[in-house]
């Protein structure tokens, strides 16, 4: 019997083979064939990751000044226009303004623990049980769909990721093992994405898709405080999340400022643009401009929305949890739409 908290390469291979056999089926819709192709690529990636064949090196991910300045400008502009706020006017600007009114919070290093992967999964499930028996049932469903859905890895360079087989609707969760309480928060984060993926039309690409994971992180923090579990580390992690969101906000603001400059100075070169940011050297500016705009916008805006919602429901947590249950289990329910009054600028 395989360890319950590890992906099973045989299971992965079996799913991949099944999809390989399906991929040329002419009775399938174009969309399904696309889903299958994407999922086969995901399975190949999962196997490489499982077999330790991937290197996670931050260097080289970011383009550098070896690109011609004109190309940098073009890459930057393409990057920015990939983001909804530019097609939706200033619909989201007030969320960014709200975030910019907040201050960074102090953080201290997290305690190193000796928890096993099974401990981490069990602790997280205990939290979800306290939170909502309904969602616990959903986690059980997920584990039934894929009995080997969790994988922990020390070397990945992100806190966690949820991979999907889009055709069979199977999630695979990957958590960076840090031997700190972060592992439990990262697992909750990815579980939230996984439930939404299984039960709803996946909204992962939409702006605001990180609202539920952020809300869950807040609820998990409150649970640790209430139960007296690792309270200092829980607080520190919440502060870290807060600071990350503020960093993303700073990147958004810089990119927006750069875009405004480019739009009003249509002949501007990269060197002209650099004069707008005299405090940064060129390499640093290039790196910041090319950070994926849709990613930082998603994070910053989701965090601002999560804070507003938590504030709105601070005296009525059961209703907030009930709405979250709906958001993660009912594909026709639209959480953000339901909270328009809170979220839209008035």
Closer of 138 and 210 to Zn ion (Cβ) = 210
Residue 207 beta carbon to Zn ion: minimum distance, rounded to whole angstroms: 13
Residue 185 beta carbon to Zn ion: minimum distance, rounded to whole angstroms: 11
Closer of 96 and 162 to Zn ion (Cβ) = 162
Residue 210 beta carbon to Zn ion: minimum distance, rounded to whole angstroms: 5
Residue 4 beta carbon to Zn ion: minimum distance, rounded to whole angstroms: 24
Backbone angles phi, psi at 174, to 5 degrees: -120, 125
Closer of 203 and 339 to Zn ion (Cβ) = 203
Cβ 124 vs Cβ 149: under 8 Å: no
Closer of 50 and 214 to Zn ion (Cβ) = 214
Residue 193 beta carbon to Zn ion: minimum distance, rounded to whole angstroms: 6
Residue 262 beta carbon to Zn ion: minimum distance, rounded to whole angstroms: 30
Closer of 190 and 285 to Zn ion (Cβ) = 190
What is the contact surface with Zn ion in residues (CB under 5 A)?
A: 210, 213
Closer of 85 and 213 to Zn ion (Cβ) = 213
- State both tokens at 26: 């002419």
Residue 298 beta carbon to Zn ion: minimum distance, rounded to whole angstroms: 8
Closer of 210 and 233 to Zn ion (Cβ) = 210
Give all strands of the β-sheet with 160-165 in edge-to-edge order: 150-153, 170-176, 160-165
């Amino acid at each position: 019997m395989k360890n319950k908290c590890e992906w099973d390469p045989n299971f992965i291979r079996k799913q991949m083979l099944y999809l390989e056999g399906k991929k040329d089926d002419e009775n399938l819709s174009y969309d399904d064939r696309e889903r299958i192709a994407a999922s086969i690529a995901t399975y190949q990636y999962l196997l490489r990751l499982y077999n330790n064949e991937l290197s996670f090196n931050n260097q080289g991910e970011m383009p550098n000044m070896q690109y011609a300045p004109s190309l940098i400008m073009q890459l930057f502009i393409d990057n920015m226009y990939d983001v909804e706020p530019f097609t939706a006017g200033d619909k989201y600007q007030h969320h960014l303004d709200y975030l910019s009114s907040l201050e960074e919070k102090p953080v201290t290093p997290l305690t190193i623990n000796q928890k096993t992967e099974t401990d981490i999964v069990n602790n997280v499930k205990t939290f979800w049980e306290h939170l909502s028996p309904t969602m616990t049932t959903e986690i059980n469903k997920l584990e039934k769909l894929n009995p080997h859905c969790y994988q922990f890895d020390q070397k990945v360079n992100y806190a966690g990721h949820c991979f999907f087989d889009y055709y069979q609707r199977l999630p695979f969760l990957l958590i960076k093992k840090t031997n700190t309480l972060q592992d439990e928060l990262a697992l909750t984060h990815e579980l939230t994405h996984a439930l939404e993926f299984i039960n709803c039309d996946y909204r992962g690409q939409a702006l605001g898709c990180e609202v539920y994971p952020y809300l869950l992180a807040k609820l998990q923090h409150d649970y640790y405080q209430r139960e007296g579990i690792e309270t200092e580390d829980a607080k520190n992690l919440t502060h870290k999340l807060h600071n990350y969101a503020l960093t993303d906000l700073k990147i958004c603001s810089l990119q927006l400022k750069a875009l405004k400059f480019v739009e009003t100075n249509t002949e501007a070169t990269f060197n002209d643009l650099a004069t707008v940011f005299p405090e940064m050297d060129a390499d640093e500016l290039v790196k910041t401009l090319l950070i994926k705009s849709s990613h930082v916008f998603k994070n910053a805006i989701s965090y601002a929305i999560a804070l507003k919602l938590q504030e709105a429901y601070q005296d009525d947590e059961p209703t907030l949890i009930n709405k979250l249950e709906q958001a993660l289990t009912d594909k026709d329910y639209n959480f953000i739409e339901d909270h328009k009054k809170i979220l839209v600028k008035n």
